[in-house]
Amino acid sequence: MPTPLSASSAPDVEAACAAHDLTPAEFGALRDAAQGAKARAYCPYSRFRVGAALLTRSGAYVTGANVENASYPVTTCAERVAFGTAVVAGYHQQAQQQQTQADGQQGAGVGGGFKAVAVATDAVGPASPCGMCRQCIREFCDLSVPIIMFDKDSKFIVMKLEELLPLSFGPDSLGVPDPAKS
């Protein structure tokens, strides 16, 4: 794991943003959104709160938190809650944006895919998305999309999806148009 940086250090934030095509304002908004979502986690069993935030290419922020269940496997991670919400809102592909605008429907401007993913936990040291969530992110994001992981003190690391999930399997592997590239 890379050495964690500090979200309260302007040079650390600026370096991370420069490396991943983000602005410090976007970085701060992602942190706030992920940490805010974490506060709404439903996790009476693990008591391990997780918040996720997605920055769409159209400039919207979509959040999710982990939602646990008495039947443990029914539990859904924060990242997958966020992506489910984003897909229903139409943020996941460029084609959706064009269709929406062509129809002249309310909601024009959504779509375009995702620019960054952020995850926040109460762990000491940044925690990374589980394997299932890495695969979920792969479905909708370009391999270059940064995944920012915040710990309880806003220490963070950033890794690209292709670093967290090398040799990945995605829509293009099955001959289906890749939402991240359409």
Binding site annotation covers 69?
Answer: yes
Residue 130 as a binder of Zn ion (CB under 5 A): the answer is yes
13 vs 52, which CB is nearer to Zn ion? 52
User: C-beta of 172: minimal distance to Zn ion in Å?
Assistant: 23
The correct pick among 53, 86, 133, 158 for binding Zn ion (CB under 5 A) is 133
For residue 139, give the amino acid letter: E
Of the chain, the end-to-end C-alpha distance in Å amounts to: 32
Minimal distance, residue 54 CB to Zn ion, in Å: 14
30-35 contact pairs (CB < 8 A, 24+) = 30/55, 30/61, 30/116, 30/118, 30/148, 31/7, 31/118, 31/120, 31/148, 31/150, 31/154, 31/156, 33/61, 33/63, 33/118, 34/63, 34/118, 34/119, 34/120, 34/148, 34/150, 35/120, 35/150, 35/154
What's the token pair of residue 113? 């895919």
Task: Phi first, then psi: give them for residue 133, nearest 5 degrees.
Answer: -70, -35
Could you give the string, one character per residue 97-126, with x where binding to Zn ion holds by CB under 5 A and - elsewhere?
Answer: ------------------------------
Known catalytic membership, residue 79: yes
Which range of residues in 72-80, 88-96, 111-119, 142-150 is near Zn ion by CB under 5 A?
A: 72-80
* Closest CB 79 distance from Zn ion, rounded Å: 5
Binding residues for substrate: 66-72
Binding region for Zn ion (CB under 5 A)? 77, 130, 133
Binding residues for Zn(2+): 77, 130, 133
Annotated catalytic residues are: 79
